[in-house]
Structure 1
Amino acid sequence: MDLQTLLKVAHVVGAAVLLGTGAGIAFFMLMAHRARDPALIAHTASIVVLADTVFTASAVVLQPMTGAALAHLAGYPLLSGWIGLSLVLYVVTGLCWLPVVWIQLRLRDLARQAVATGAPLPGQYFRLFRLWFLLGFPAFAAVLGIVWLMVAKPNL
């Protein structure tokens, strides 16, 4: 297997990891939230934080590296056209993802505290969950846009 093919495979797998982990995390967090069970939420949020650390963070680091190498090999300029737009969308995704990671940690901690004290989930939990949920829309849309740009390679 040549270098370009290896980079393409790594880049596509990275995109799949970003898209799949994001969708999976959103699904499991939403299902746990709907149950309103602090113990279930605390457990699910703990797994979500781990998944974000292991899978999402790894892909976040590798995607621009493999993408830049592929662009270089193909002779595409990095900061213009569809690649430039995909980088803008990548930044948008990151600007949504970073607070989401912090929110997931807080949701986990608030749920753990509710379990430890036998109290219901506090109002702060529900406010943070709404923000977490809302930040997911632009992040997910941006990742879908990046995948589309990567596949279609429109002449911009």
Structure 2
Amino acid sequence: MDLYVIARLVHILSACVLFGSGAAIAFFMLMAWRSGGRAGFALVARHVVLADWLFTASAVVIQPLSGIALAHLAGWPLTAPWLLASYGLYGFIGACWLPVVWIQYRVRDRLVAEEGEAAPPEVHRLMRIWFVLGWPAFAALIGIFVLMITKPGF
């Protein structure tokens, strides 16, 4: 295999990890929140924080590195309009993801610190923000996939 094929494989696999871990984390966190049980929700929140660092964060680092390598190896200018749009969407996703990570930590800590069966009101407020931030981030990620596939204007 040549270097281009390896870079492309790494880029595609890390995109799959980014999308898949994000979807799985969102699903399990949402289901745990909706369950209404504090103990189960706390357990899921603890594992979600870990999964975000193991899978999502590693893919977040690998994506731009492999993408720049791939563009260079393919001879695409790093200022191609579709790449500039991808960078913008990636930055937007990061602007949504960083508060989500903070919220997940806060939710986890509040669920562990609180007594009782139900999650405290602050957790529900934070989860509503978490939920709202997830939708535009996923839409932007799909937008990046469309740009990677179609490369408009190139």
TM range (shorter): over 0.9
- Does the alignment pair 1:113 with 2:113? yes
Q: How many residues align?
A: 154
* AA in 2 matched with 1:37: G
- Provide the rounded CA distance (Å) in 2 between the counterparts of 1:155 and 1:68: 18
Question: Which range moved further: 97-106 or 120-129?
Answer: 120-129
- Provide the rounded CA distance (Å) in 2 between the counterparts of 1:90 and 1:149: 12
- Provide the rounded CA distance (Å) in 1 between the counterparts of 2:99 and 2:86: 21
Match of 2:23 in 1: 23
Deviation at 1:25, TM superposition (A): 0.6
- Provide the rounded CA distance (Å) in 2 between the counterparts of 1:14 and 1:119: 38
- Does the alignment pair 1:126 with 2:124? yes
Deviation at 1:119, TM superposition (A): 5.8
- Provide the rounded CA distance (Å) in 2 between the counterparts of 1:47 and 1:131: 20
- Provide the rounded CA distance (Å) in 2 between the counterparts of 1:102 and 1:39: 20
Match of 1:6 in 2: 6
- Provide the rounded CA distance (Å) in 2 between the counterparts of 1:16 and 1:24: 12
CA deviations 1:74-124 (Å, max 9, x no partner) are: 12121331111001000000000000000001111111122xx22632211
Q: Which runs of 5+ in 1 are unaligned?
A: none
* AA in 1 matched with 2:14: G
Runs of 4+ off more than 2 Å: 117-120
Match of 1:37 in 2: 37
Match of 1:80 in 2: 80
- How big is the alpha-carbon RMSD for the aligned residues of Structure 1 and Structure 2? 1.1
Match of 2:148 in 1: 150
- Provide the rounded CA distance (Å) in 2 between the counterparts of 1:73 and 1:132: 38
- Provide the rounded CA distance (Å) in 1 between the counterparts of 2:101 and 2:78: 28
- Provide the rounded CA distance (Å) in 1 between the counterparts of 2:15 and 2:130: 22
* AA in 2 matched with 1:26: A
Secondary structure of the 2:87 match is helix
